Chains A and B, each alone.
Chain A
Amino acid sequence: MAVLQLILLLGIAPLVSGVIKTLKARLQIRRGPGILQPYRDLHKLFHKGMVLPDSASWIFTATPFVVFAATLIAGLMLPMMSAEAPLGLFGGMLAIVYLLGLGRFFLALGGLDTGSSFGGLGASREMTIAALAEPAMMMAIFTVGIGANSTSLSEVARTAIGNNLAFLAPAQMLAFVALFLVLIAETGRIPVDNPATHLELTMIHEAMILEYSGPYLGLIEWGSSIKQLLLMTLLINSFLPFGLHREWSVGGTLLSLFYLLIKLLLLSCTIVLTETANAKMRLFRVPEMLAVAFTLGALGLISTFLF
């Protein structure tokens, strides 16, 4: 089942990116590239040669592999097709957060390794924003974890399945919003970062990977879309696990998958609406947004005293 989930992660992550891109284009009355464009992009990247910056070292070469592998392992710790996560034994929420941190650590080093200002600029901003997003994320995780009395995502999902209206509790709703804001920041979406821009001064994530090309860029892009899928699924299956089956079975898994895809679509719509309705913030307004997320998480925890 680990292999199955691996294939699923690799397979539908580009699709989710494509759906978001297309929906966004449609909402802005553009035609958009079509939902299969990310697959074509990846195909193209993996068939191209590459140019490495001459100032770079082995860190630059190792980064795509570390990012890709760390993100995939984190993805395998996630309950996706049933409440049982394939690699749940190896880690839960905390391990996922830190594995994503490992990927980010190396991405930032890869950015610095190029020697150009852009790499450093992207690395500095990405690390700063991620650092500020972390307390909000941990607060939300604590809120969820306290409900289930565990940091194991399978336990969290099972607790949530047992009580389908639990998400209406103020603590859960506040934590959900907090985690959604963190998702926006972590996946580099508007209003924090614009994944479509290569305008020099506003790039964050794109600035770090500016020098990557060919298969290495492909690995990083693939990793990024897996990370996005992972965070979306985390949000969905921790708070809204309707239709997720407790145990593994062929029928149950297919049904769980069906519900997951629908919920992913709905969440994509939410992200697209947020992206379209907001303008990109100035960099130094981002801390305020993350402070809001942290406060919401904290309020959620405190609200457990009241309800």
Chain B
Amino acid sequence: MPGAVFWFAAGLAAYLLGALAGLACWRRPADARRIACGLALAGSLLLAVSAAAALAGGKAVTWTLPVGLTLFPWTVRLDPLSAFFALTLALLAIAVSIYSIGYLKEMEGKRNIGILTFFYNLLLLSLALVFTAANAFFFLIAWELMSITAFCLVTFEHEKPEARRAAELFLVMSHAGTGLLLAGLLILGASGGGADLARFDFARFHLLASTLSPFDQGFVFLLFFVGFGVKAGIVPLHIWLPDAHPVAPSNISALMSGIVIKSGIYGMARVFFDFYGPPPLWMGTLVLAVGVVTALVGVLCALMEHDIKRLLAYHSIENIGIILMGFGAALMFRALDHAALAAMALVAALFHTMNHAIFKGLLFLAAGSVVQATKTRNMEAMGGLVRRMPATAFFFLIGAVAISGLPPLNGFVSEWLTYQALLAGFGTTESLTRVMFPLAGSLLALTAALAATCFVKAFGIPFLALPRSEAAANAGESNQAMQVGMGLLAAACFVLGLGATWIFPMFDPITRNAFGVDISSTMVAASGFALRGGSPHAGTVSTFGIALTFAALVAAAVFLIGRRMQHATRATGPSWDCGLPGLTADNEYTAAAFSKPLRMIFAAFYRPSQEIQPQYDVSPYYPSSIHFESEVEPIFERHIYDPLSHWIFGLARRMRAIQAGSIHAYLAYIFVTLVLMLLFGVRS
């Protein structure tokens, strides 16, 4: 029986073939679509098998890619943490690849599908390598490959200025982050002296950080946190994300929001829980605080967004915040020497990572169907789609319920675990730090409730009531491949939600590696039927039980009402519209109106400005039309990034003085630098 490594290699080969097939079918879009996406699907299936095998095995397996570089070996290592992220990638990529077969059909003849599928396969390949790279150099190569293919995909519709702008911002931010990572990895690798390249093996980094001086430890920690944070989209480093994710084609958006940002989460997990030993308390506190702020800012921005894909992108920021809360709590528990609690918080964060990949992928795919059918991303121009696109609407609803953390779907389980970890945190320390836990918990509750509000809007406005535009009225259901892709992810929301207890042992190898404890035995109660939070008296939850009871109660109610209705009339009539003749789409509540109360309540954050211009024909009491414009201030851009870029440009202008263009001056600079370097060398 071939092992995990074999399937992994086969998966990589399939991705590579898929990329080449995309290039080969440059002029035959239908073939590019079927063959390249088919190979991506095959690669993802193989990767899923490999990751599942590695996770089940529980031990790290290593394999060096035969590329002939002995100095920088391209080694992959499938340890439980890597295997978990690879599995998440594979599950999402299976569904997205099926969806893409149908989704790209629309583009045939209009766009170069060959090049899109080339980058698509390359992105999956690089992600698989990022999650499994076993040494610093190979990791950075994979990381860069991922960033650059993502850049190419963001800028795929490059005739649009917004796509070019978003891609440029993405590239700049992403490289600033990579610079910090490089510095961090070099400092870690160089610690202990010597210049042997083999020392950059990740296995050697294990607990290495603890040998650094406390100051260096903190410094390196910050380098990694910020460096990976840029990719994950933590506030205030998130500004590229809501621009970059929506402008890509929707299947790519699903990957970007579902799994590419998780590379940052993977990096943090690797550094925080593998490289570092027990950390000082401030690290966890910082991560927890950043997580809370990220979650809240993400959801508040999403509420004001009426572009359906930008809204989803902001929700990715929110969910990254929730994941970071779990990481922060885990770090704090480790600092306080509570291994079991740390394991629970880590599992909460990792489970949410997987869940978010699934439901955010689903939401982006459904949004992609809607955008393809209505040719707009503006929710205010949709409406009534539940009748025209019933399957898409149903799948979007599943995603919306899951991301809002409502039972019994998967989002609820991971949020429940996060609450349990935060609740247990209060008793772990006597210091004032413990107030952090309930505070974070109640802000998580606020975040989740605001997310539910936002998804009432995101489902209600585009899908319910009457169509608000011609395009929405004529929209049709998406094709079968797209429905299958979405259906798979919707089913995964149910499986991960209802089957949480049976999936739970999957996390054991990860927590065993990180903290040396298994928690599934204490957390799975009632013979696999319910989940118990940590201690024996802690609360339990059973999504399966809830779902069963729910189904029984609904069935009973439907039966009783159905019997009643046999003898009663059932008519349809127009909705009440204050006696006006005929309800039109103009009477409907808009997305802007829906979020208005929150815009006013959080005015200090949004700083909204609005402009109303009525136009009159005859009487000043009856306006013939009203022009309404409302805007919220992009607070981070205006107060952090604008001054920063202003400062950088000012510095660059001043630097211009030494760039005179005279070769003599340049030679002088080189000479002075050389002398200074020599002096520096001699001195030390």
Contacts and interface: CB of A to CB of B under 8 A. Distances in A.
Contact of B460 (A92, A109, A143): A109
Interface residues of B, number: 88
Interface in A99-152: 99, 101-102, 104-105, 108-109, 112-121, 123-125, 127-128, 130-139, 142-143, 145-146, 148-152
Contact of A112 (B432, B537, B589): B589
Interface stretch (A16-24, A237-245, A295-303): A295-303
B423 A65 contact: no
A76 B549 contact: yes
A104 B407 CA distance: 13
B576 A116 contact: yes
B481 to A, nearest CB: 25
Interface in B512-550: 525-526, 529-530, 533, 535, 537-542, 545-546, 549-550
A124 B553 contact: no
A157 B273 CA distance: 38
Which applies to chain A's interface (DSSP): helix, strand, loop or mixed? helix
Contacts of B539: 91-94, 145, 150-152, 155
Given A53-B573, A91-B540, A91-B546, A47 B568 contact: yes
Contacts, number: 281
* Chain A interface residue bracket vs B: 35 or more
Interface in B569-621: 569-578, 583, 585, 587-590, 593-598, 600-601
A102 B442 contact: no
Contact of A55 (B424, B466, B578): B466
Interface string A40-59: 00000011111111111111
B200 interface: no
Given A94-B419, A146-B423, A52 B541 contact: no
Which applies to chain B's interface (DSSP): helix, strand, loop or mixed? helix
B575 A123 contact: no
Given A114-B465, A130-B449, A301-B435, A47 B564 contact: yes
Interface stretch (B128-136, B317-325, B450-458, B491-499): B450-458
B416 interface: yes
A46 B564 CA distance: 7
B554 interface: yes
B194 interface: no
Contacts of A307: none
* Most chain B CB neighbours (cut-off 10 Å) among A50, A93, A104: A50
Contacts of A134: 442, 445-446, 448-449
Contacts of B564: 46-47, 215
A131 B570 contact: no
Interface string A275-294: 00000000110010000001
Given A55-B575, A119-B589, A214 B597 contact: no
Interface stretch (B2-10, B228-236, B278-286, B398-406): B398-406
A114 B466 CA distance: 9
A91 B570 CA distance: 37
Contacts of A166: none
Contacts of A68: 553-554, 557
A192 interface: no
B588 A120 contact: yes
A278 B448 CA distance: 31
Nearest to A297: B442
B461 interface: yes
Nearest 7 A-B pairs (CB), nearest first?
A: A120-B589, A151-B539, A49-B569, A112-B460, A115-B465, A138-B445, A131-B449
11 contacts: A52-B571, A53-B575, A69-B550, A92-B540, A93-B539, A97-B445, A105-B401, A132-B601, A135-B443, A137-B445, A151-B533
Given A57-B464, A123-B594, 18 more contacts: A49-B569, A52-B570, A53-B573, A58-B386, A87-B545, A89-B530, A94-B419, A101-B448, A105-B406, A117-B589, A132-B449, A134-B442, A134-B446, A142-B441, A149-B537, A215-B564, A283-B597, A298-B442
Interface of B: 384, 386-387, 397, 401, 404-407, 412, 416, 419-420, 423-424, 426-427, 432, 435, 438-439, 441-446, 448-450, 452-453, 455-456, 459-461, 464-466, 525-526, 529-530, 533, 535, 537-542, 545-546, 549-550, 553-554, 557-558, 561, 564-565, 568-578, 583, 585, 587-590, 593-598, 600-601
